[in-house]
Amino acid sequence: MTYPHLSVLIHKQAEKYGNRVALRFRDYETEQWIPVSWNQFSEIVKTAACAMLELGVNVQENIGVFSQNKPECLYIDFAAFATRAVSIPLYATSSEAQAQYIVNDASIRYLFVGEQFQYDVAYRILSLCPTLQKLIIFDSSVKLNPEDTTSIFFEEFLKMGTNKERMSEVEERTAGVDENDLANILYTSGTTGDSKGVMLHHSCYIEAFRIHKIRLTSMTDKDIVMNFLPLTHIFEKAWTYYCLCVGCQICINLRPTDIQKTIKEIRPTLMCAVPRFWEKVYAGVQEKINNTTGVAKIMMQDAVKVGHAYNIEYGRAGKEPPLWLTLKYKFYEKTVYSLLKKTIGIERGNFFPTAGAAIPSAVEEFVHSVGINMVAGYGLTESTATVSCDVLPNYTIGSVGRVMPDVEVKIGENDEILLRGKTITKGYYKKEAITKTAIDAEGWFHTGDAGYFKDGELFLTERIKDLFKTSNGKYIAPQAIESRLVVDRYIDQIAIIADRRKFVSALIIPTYDLVEEYANKYRIAYGSMEELLRNEEIVALFKERIDTLQQQFAHYEQIKRFTLLPEPFSMKKGELTNTLKIRRSVLYKNYAAEIEKMYQE
C-alpha cells in the first residue's frame, strides 16, 4: 500500500468517506460537540490554500500557527501542505521571548493565532519581528488592540480564498509536491538554552504511516480519538496525522484542564497521553481506596491484586490463568474495573499510547491490572515520534517496547541510544554545527538517552546529559528518583538536586489539598501554606513517605534532605518548558537560598 502525501490526504479521505464525521470540536456556549464532515474538512482546506496564495505564500515558505488545539490548526496545516508551504507550530503557552525567537529564526511572515492570550503575545512582538506582516486570528471574540490595522480574523482570511481562479494554481503546486519537501519545523522546548527547529520532511510522515500500520493492527476507521496533548508536540501531531490517514474521527479538546469533563462527553477509544495523566488516575484510585472502609475497601484492594495476577503474572507472560483467578477477574471486570473505566470516560477504550517521560512502574502495573491497554513507547521530535512501543499483549513493565519496523537502533558509547531510518530528521533548521554534532558521519542520530536491550525490548536508563555527579564521585540519575517518588499522592512535583553536591536533596511541591486535609484531620494549626509546610509533623509525614519509596535505591542515591515549597513550579517563572519538563538551571537560580540551606551543616 502507498500512503498519500499530506498535501492530498484530506481530499483523498473526503472522496472515500464523504459526509461522514472527520472532526468534532466543543462549542463552549452551547456545550455541544460540533461535527465537521470529511467533505467540509476538504473544502475548508482548499479555500484556505487559495487564501494562502492570495496572500502570496511561496513554495517552502514558513507559516506559523500559535494556538491551542483547534480545528483551524489542522485546516492551516493541510492548506500549507497543499501549497508546499511549511507549517511551524508554537506552543499556546509560549512567552513573548519564545514566540519572538521562533518567528525571527524561521522568518515567518504570517502567524495564525488562537485566542486572546496568543493574539496579545503576538501583537506585542510584532514590532520586534522584521519579517512578521500579519496576524490571522482563529477566535472571532478576540479584542483587537486599538492601534492594530493589519490583523484579520480567520473568516476574513477564508473569504480571500473564495477566488476559484486560485484553485488551479493550488493544484499546480500540489502536483509538484515531493517527499523531500519540508513539512514542519518543530521547535523543541529546550530544557537548556535556545530551542532548536527540528526539520521534518514529508518523507518522515509517509514512512511513519507505513510502519504504524504494520504495528498498530487493532486501529481502524471506527475508532474515536480524543486529541488532548498539544498539536505542537510531535507525539500528538504525528499521531493525529496518522489517525486522519486511518480515517478515525478526531475530537479536539481545546483546554487541557477540561480533559476530565470532555473525555466523559466523548468516551474515546484512543487517546495519546503523557504519564502524568495516568499518575493522576492512579493517585485518585489510591485516594479512593484510602478513604473507603469495610467490605468495599477489601474488595477494591483485592480487585487490584487479582487484576495484577491475571493480566501481568499470567496474561502478559502468555500463561493460562487458573480457573478460580479467571472467574474472580471476570467478576471484577463487570463491577470494579468497568466502574473505574466509566468514571474516567474510557470504557470503550481500544488502547492508549503513553510516552513523553518515564512511566512509574507502580502506575504502569496498576493501569494494566485494571484492564486498560496502555501502550508504552519512546520517541523524540527528531524521530517523528515513535522509535519503539509495546506490542500487546506481550509487554514488560518498565520497558518502552519493541523497536518499530525498519527503524534502526543501536547502543553506542556510554550506552547512548542511536537511531537511523526514514523517520529520523535530516537536521536542525539553520543550525549546521549542531546538526553535525547530533548526526554522525554514518548517519546515526545521537539521542542523548541511555538505554539497553533485553529480550528484544528497549529499556531507558537515563538522560545522559542529566546525569549528576556528586562531590563524592557517584553518578545519580535524577529522573529515576523523581519518577519513583512522584507516584506518592502527597507529591505533585519534585526536582532532585545532586550535581557536585555531597548528597542528594529535593525540592518538593506537595499536593496542597491533601496536606490541608491531613492538617485538619490531626488538628494541626496553621496560618498559611508556607507555615504549614514548615510544621514538624508535616515534614515528618513526607520524610516517612519518601523513605518508604526510596528503599530500592543505593544509599548514595537516597534523598537526605528536602524542602516543601508553597508554590508550584511554573512556566511563567521559566521553571518548566512548554511540555512541562523541569528546567533545572532556572530552579537552581530561583531557589538558590532554599538549596543552600539544605546543605548547611
CA–CA distance, 533 with 308 (Å, rounded to integer) = 36
Segment 286-302 mean pLDDT: 90
Q: Within this chain, do residues 495 and 368 fall inside the same structural domain, yes or no? A: no
Exposure b/e, 166-182, CB count within 10 A at least 16 = b: beeebeebbeebeeebb
Give the HSE-up count for residue 561: Cα atoms under 13 Å, Cβ half-sphere: 13
Q: What is the side-by-side strand order in the sheet with 457-463?
A: 408-411, 416-420, 445-454, 457-463
Final residue of a structural domain among 372, 403, 423:
372
pLDDT at 406: 97
Residue 250 placed within a domain: yes
Segments forming the whole domain that contains residue 338 = 276-372
- Band (pLDDT 50/70/90 cuts) for residue 189 is low
pLDDT at 127: 94
Residue 2 pLDDT > 90:
no
Beta strands 475-476 and 468-469: pairing type? antiparallel
CA–CA distance, 477 with 496 (Å, rounded to integer) = 9
CA–CA distance, 450 with 464 (Å, rounded to integer) = 6
Question: pTM score, two decimals?
Answer: 0.86
* Residue reference for cell 502506575: 363
Sign of CA dihedral 378, 383, 386, 389: negative
DSSP, residue by residue, 201-241 = EHHHHHHHHHHHHHH-TT--TT-EEEE-S-TTSHHHHHHHH
- Band (pLDDT 50/70/90 cuts) for residue 194 is low
Q: Within this chain, do residues 346 and 244 fall inside the same structural domain, yes or no? A: no
Cis peptide before 393, with omega less than 30 degrees from 0? yes
pLDDT at 204: 98
Segment 394-402 mean pLDDT: 95
Q: Based on the structure, what is the number of domains in the chain?
A: 3
Bridge partners, residue 562, by sequence: 506
Q: Within this chain, do residues 364 and 484 fall inside the same structural domain, yes or no? A: no
- Band (pLDDT 50/70/90 cuts) for residue 156 is very high
pLDDT at 301: 94
Segment 72-80 mean pLDDT: 98
Contact 103, 129 (CB under 8 A): yes
Q: Within this chain, do residues 266 and 359 fall inside the same structural domain, yes or no? A: no
pLDDT at 462: 82
Residue 352 pLDDT > 90:
yes
- CB-based contacts of 555: which residues, under 8 Å, 6+ apart? none
Residue 306 placed within a domain: yes
Structure-model confidence comparison of residues 469 and 391, the more confident one: 391
pLDDT at 190: 57
pLDDT tens, 470-514? 777 777 888 889 988 988 999 999 999 988 788 999 999 999 999
Question: To the nearest whole percent, how much of the chain has pLDDT over 90?
Answer: 81
Residue 349 pLDDT > 80:
yes
- Band (pLDDT 50/70/90 cuts) for residue 464 is confident
Segment 243-249 mean pLDDT: 98
Nearest to 557 by CA among 499, 488, 481: 481
pLDDT at 236: 96
CA–CA distance, 242 with 206 (Å, rounded to integer) = 9
pLDDT tens, 7-43? 999 999 999 999 999 999 999 999 999 999 999 999 9
Q: Within this chain, do residues 145 and 249 fall inside the same structural domain, yes or no? A: yes
Residue 453 placed within a domain: no
Q: Within this chain, do residues 355 and 495 fall inside the same structural domain, yes or no? A: no
Residue 4 pLDDT > 60:
yes
Q: Within this chain, do residues 224 and 126 fall inside the same structural domain, yes or no? A: yes
Burial label for 269, CB within 10 Å (0-12, 13-18, 19+), is: buried
Beta strands 445-454 and 352-354: pairing type? unpaired
pLDDT tens, 415-435? 999 999 999 999 999 999 999
pLDDT at 1: 54
- CB-based contacts of 68: which residues, under 8 Å, 6+ apart? 92, 114, 115, 118, 230, 254, 255
- How far the first Cα of the chain sits from its last, in Å, is 67
Q: Within this chain, do residues 72 and 172 fall inside the same structural domain, yes or no? A: yes
- What is the average pLDDT value for the chain, to the nearest integer? 93
- CB-based contacts of 474: which residues, under 8 Å, 6+ apart? 556, 557
- Band (pLDDT 50/70/90 cuts) for residue 193 is low
Final residue of a structural domain among 243, 271, 299:
271
Q: Within this chain, do residues 252 and 355 fall inside the same structural domain, yes or no? A: no
